[in-house]
């Protein structure tokens, strides 16, 4: 799916699509002749015809009879329920609505962004792919803007408009929800439970659109927006649905197209930080959308959309999936994926997300944010410029897709970045520091002061998180070398494998790739002159300590956060702690530690980190879920948790704030 070392990959150049929009009529553009090239030249069927095909399909008719038999309801009654589900779910794509959105979004994008850059070679590959086989678009998901931009771009380049899997949340936006439906969105519940009929209607609806080449299917592998801007563990339900027609021999092939969407400044930045601190997400509503118009007065820098190479499902499955297993039953009978198929789906989903990560365009601010988070007391501008330049070269050596302005002085690049993100900073007398600049000008309690500072830190961390995939594997190796306290290759690998397993819910680490990840980390650090890897030993070079110390510092917030969770589980948890109570309880525990001066890591307050830490302790059998009545409680094995904490604690020694830079300078 992707080269082992990303720096070996040639990447496409970009075109700013807003350049033309700034010099021509938006209305004329929205009303222009739209003539997309379609799959096999087919004419798209109307929504009413699509509904009829789905309801009359052998698969849905089989499930209707099955549900009728199990429930005792008549088949007519169950069929009517299926029809109502489909009415609630189905899109009603209308070109006139799309034209309205194109006109409106053209105005909005020009206000919000300095540029929207698209790789035209990727568009050309997509234009070819949609003619050959049904296409599934798989964008990364960092903002509500993602799916709007996708439809806008496909209209712009005369590509078939996608049908988009959207959450039912949008249906509460009365007018806007229907507008989204008429621009290609189809709405699905967040969870189906054991609703056999709903699943059958949903899966048949998607497969019918795919089999008929009706339109590209678009959905987010991560399932929801990432509040931290790290990639989320992918979901495989929809991926299985779009692959099934190929598995059953109904389609010759399906093209999966990963799309990477990156933002220089994220619209929902502070909203995400507040959600991570326990403030509920505002409910989607039309009035809320209207109130959000003030964002149009802000500058959000540049946006990048990179269409990756189409990935053939036929090529992916070669030698991995035996399709004959799907011939043992009639096609209309639902089949659960076999263990081999489930493993294949999971592996494919992870590798597709890794492709998304590798094609994410990174701006200089992600480097600056990384350094400022490691220096909570701030930095002199001259030192910031020097360290950013050093970090730029390290990131490029590790294969980062970095958009650094040509022929611009480092100080000038930093100045522009600081100006765009000034709401997170204070700059005074040549000194830069992460700071609360828009907090209420009234006396606050210590708890409120911590909250305001945590919003800034988590907002800044969302940018640092965008580059974590570049540093992750070398960082795990750097921490493993410290934890192992040994040069023996086997000892270092064992520590690397432990950390990789511990953080497998935190980062995108492909299952079964531990050895490959270890070798990749060794290769990158050898290439940089940081390590020598011998047959049985890994030896740090004389100049390597600073790089290893920096990389350890990158993982320090996660190490500290997981240690906070383990301390809570051992010291504070009670016998009846429910899963629902866990996050607020850990947050309060971390808050007390910060107020007492025992913890300086504000990222330990993040619900995402706490949730991922709990997932790790559950996976490692240090915590177990026990159902008591209607509630799920957590049973803690304190000996196991203490053991894990001790292993994590060995990693703290070299990750003290910015000690790596002083070593580099010396």
The full DSSP string for 393-452 is HHHHHTT--B---TT--HHHHHHHHHHHTGGGEEEETTEEEE--SSS-SS---HHHHHHH
Task: Name the region of 229 (left: φ>0; alpha: ψ -120 to 50; beta: rest).
Answer: left
Please, what sign has the CA dihedral across residues 612, 614, 616, 619?
A: negative
* Percent over 90 (pLDDT), the chain: 76
Residue 15, pLDDT above cutoff 70: yes
Q: Is the pLDDT of residue 38 over 90?
A: no
**CA-to-CA distance for 314 and 216, rounded, in angstroms?**
18
Output the pLDDT for position 58.
93
Quote the mean pLDDT of the chain: 90
- Quick one: pLDDT band at residue 579, thresholds 50, 70, 90? confident
Q: Whose CA is closest to 472, among 443, 450, 502?
A: 502
Q: Is the pLDDT of residue 6 over 90?
A: no
pLDDT grade for 178, boundaries at 50, 70 and 90 = confident
- The arithmetic mean of pLDDT across residues 3-8, rounded, is 42
CA–CA separation, 549 and 656 (whole Å): 8
- Give the pair of three-digit tokens for residue 430: 């040549």
Q: How many angstroms separate the Cα of 70 from the Cα of each of 78, 198, 238, 462?
A: 11, 15, 26, 49
pLDDT at residue 655 is higher than 60: no
The model's pTM is 0.93
Asked if 586 contacts 597 with a C-beta cutoff of 8 angstroms, the reply is no
pLDDT at residue number 291 = 53
Handedness of CA 19, 22, 26, 28 (dihedral sign): negative
Is the per-residue pLDDT at 175 higher than 80?
no
* Residue 441 pLDDT class (50, 70, 90 cuts): low
**Exposure letters 223-238 (e unless 16+ CB within 10 A, then b):** bebbbbbbbbbbbbeb
Q: What's the CA gap between 586 and 564, in Å, rounded?
A: 8
Q: Under a CB-based contact definition with an 8 Å cutoff, are residues 621 and 637 in contact?
A: yes
pLDDT value at residue 666:
38
Q: What is the mean pLDDT of residues 292-313?
A: 89
| 362-386 average pLDDT score | 96
Residue 658 predicted with pLDDT over 60: no
Tokens of 602: 């504000």
* Greatest alpha-carbon span in the chain: 81
Which residues lie below 8 Å from residue 276, measured CB to CB, with a gap of 6+? 227, 228, 458, 605, 606, 607, 608
pLDDT of residue 285: 55
Average pLDDT over residues 105-117: 96
Q: Output the pLDDT for position 8.
A: 41
The single residue listed with the structure tokens 């958009």 is 403
Q: Is the pLDDT of residue 366 over 60?
A: yes
- Rounded Cα gap, residues 439 and 49, in angstroms: 55
Three-state SS at 117: strand
Q: At what angle do helices 145-156 and 95-112 cross, to 10 degrees?
A: 110
Residue 282: alpha-carbon gap to chain centroid: 20
Characterise 597 by phi-psi region: left (phi > 0), alpha (psi -120 to 50), beta (else).
left
pLDDT at 427: 93
429 φψ region: left (φ > 0), alpha (ψ -120 to 50), beta (else): left
Length of the chain as a residue count: 666
Confidence category of residue 159, pLDDT binned at 50, 70, 90: very high
Find, among 286, 168, 142, 164, the residue nearest to 224 by Cα.
142
pLDDT value, residue 641: 93
283 in Cβ contact with 344 (< 8 Å): no
Q: What are phi and psi of 93, to 5 degrees?
A: -60, 125
Domains along the chain? 14-31+46-265+300-359 (3.40.1130.10), 462-654 (no CATH)
Average pLDDT of 125-139?
95
Amino acid 214: pLDDT: 80
> Highest-confidence range of 404-413, 558-567, 573-582, 649-658, by mean pLDDT?
558-567
**pLDDT above 70: percentage of residues in the chain:** 92
Q: Which residue has the higher pLDDT, 264 or 659?
A: 264
In this model, does residue 290 exceed pLDDT 60? no
Please tell me the least confidently modeled range out of 362-366, 444-448, 614-618: 444-448
pLDDT score at 444: 79
Question: Which long-range CB contacts under 8 A does 615-621 form with residues at least 24 apart?
Answer: 615/505, 616/501, 616/502, 616/503, 616/504, 616/505, 616/506, 616/562, 617/565, 617/566, 617/569, 617/641, 617/644, 619/501, 619/504, 619/505, 620/501, 620/502, 620/644
Query: Per-residue pLDDT tens for 268-289?
Result: 999 999 999 998 866 655 555 5
Binned at pLDDT 50, 70 and 90, residue 9 comes out as low
The Cα 52–Cα 47 span in angstroms is 9
**Which residues are registered as beta bridge partners of 628?**
631
Q: Which residues of 196-211 are buried (b: 16+ CB within 10 A; e: fewer)?
A: ebbbbbbbbbbbbbbb
213 and 253 Cβ atoms separated by less than 8 Å: no
What is the pLDDT averaged over residues 635-646? Answer: 92
Give the pLDDT band (50/70/90) at residue 11. confident
- Residue 330 has a pLDDT of 79
């Amino acid at each position: 799916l992707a080269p082992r070392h990303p720096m070996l990959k040639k990447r496409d150049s970009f075109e700013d699509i807003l350049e033309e929009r700034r010099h021509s009529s938006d209305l004329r553009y929205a009303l222009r002749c739209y003539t997309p090239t379609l799959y096999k030249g087919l004419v798209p069927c109307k929504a009413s015809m699509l509904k009829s095909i789905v309801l009359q399909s052998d698969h849905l008719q089989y499930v209707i009879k099955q549900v009728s038999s199990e429930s005792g309801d008549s088949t007519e009654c169950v069929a009517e329920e299926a029809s109502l589900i489909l009415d609630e779910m189905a899109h009603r794509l209308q070109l006139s609505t799309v034209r309205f959105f194109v006109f409106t979004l053209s105005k909005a994008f020009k206000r919000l962004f300095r540029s929207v850059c698209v790789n035209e070679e990727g568009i050309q590959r997509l234009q070819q792919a949609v003619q050959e086989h049904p296409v599934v678009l798989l964008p990364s998901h960092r903002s509500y803007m993602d799916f709007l931009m996708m439809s806008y771009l496909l209209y712009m380049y005369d590509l078939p408009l996608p049908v988009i899997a959207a959450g039912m949340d949008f249906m509460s936006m009365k007018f806007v929800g229907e507008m989204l439906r008429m621009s290609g969105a189809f709405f699905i519940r967040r969870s189906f439970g054991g609703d056999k009929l709903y699943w059958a209607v949903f899966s048949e609806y998607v497969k019918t659109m795919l089999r008929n080449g009706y339109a590209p299917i678009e959905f987010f592998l991560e399932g929801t927006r990432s509040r931290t801007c790290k990639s989320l563990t992918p979901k495989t339900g929809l991926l299985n649905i779009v692959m099934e027609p190929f598995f059953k021999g109904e389609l010759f092939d399906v093209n999966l197209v990963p799309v990477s969407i990156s933002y220089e400044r994220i619209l929902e930045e502070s909203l995400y930080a507040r959600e991570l601190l326990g403030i509920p997400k505002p409910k989607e509503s039309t009035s809320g959308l209207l109130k959000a118009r003030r964002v149009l007065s802000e500058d959000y820098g540049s946006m990048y959309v990179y269409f990756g190479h189409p990935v053939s499902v036929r090529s992916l499955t070669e030698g991995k999936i035996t399709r004959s297993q799907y011939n043992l039953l009639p096609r209309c009978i639902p089949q659960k994926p076999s263990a081999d198929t489930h493993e294949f789906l999971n592996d494919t989903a992870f590798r597709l997300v890794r492709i998304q990560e590798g094609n994410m365009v990174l701006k200089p601010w992600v480097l600056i944010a990384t350094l400022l988070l490691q220096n909570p007391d701030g930095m002199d501008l001259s030192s910031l410029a020097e360290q950013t330049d050093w970090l730029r070269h390290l990131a490029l050596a590790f294969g980062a897709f970095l958009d650094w302005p040509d022929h611009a002085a480092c100080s000038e690049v930093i100045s522009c970045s600081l100006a765009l993100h000034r709401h997170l900073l204070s700059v005074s007398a040549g000194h830069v520091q992460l700071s609360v600049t828009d907090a209420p000008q009234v006396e606050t309690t210590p708890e409120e002061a911590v909250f305001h500072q945590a919003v800034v830190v988590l907002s800044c961390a969302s940018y640092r998180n965008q580059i974590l995939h570049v540093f992750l594997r070398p960082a795990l190796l750097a921490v493993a070398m410290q934890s192992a306290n040994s040069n023996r290759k086997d000892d270092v690998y064992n520590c690397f494998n432990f950390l990789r397993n511990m953080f497998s819910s935190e980062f995108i680490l492909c299952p079964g790739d531990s050895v490959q990840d270890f070798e990749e980390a060794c290769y990158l650090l050898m290439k940089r002159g940081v390590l020598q890897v011998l047959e049985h030993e890994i030896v740090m070079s004389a100049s390597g300590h600073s790089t290893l110390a920096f990389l350890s510092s990158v993982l320090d917030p996660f190490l500290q956060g997981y240690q906070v969770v383990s301390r809570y589980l051992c010291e504070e948890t009670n016998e009846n702690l429910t899963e629902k109570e866990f996050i607020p309880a850990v947050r309060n525990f971390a808050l007390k530690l910060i107020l007492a001066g025992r913890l300086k890591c504000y990222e330990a307050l993040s619900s995402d980190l706490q949730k991922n830490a709990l997932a790790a302790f559950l996976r490692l059998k240090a915590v177990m879920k026990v159902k008591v009545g209607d509630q799920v409680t957590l049973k803690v094995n304190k000996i196991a948790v203490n053991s894990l904490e001790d292993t994590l604690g060995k990693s703290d020694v070299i990750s003290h704030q910015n000690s790596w830079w002083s070593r580099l300078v010396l």
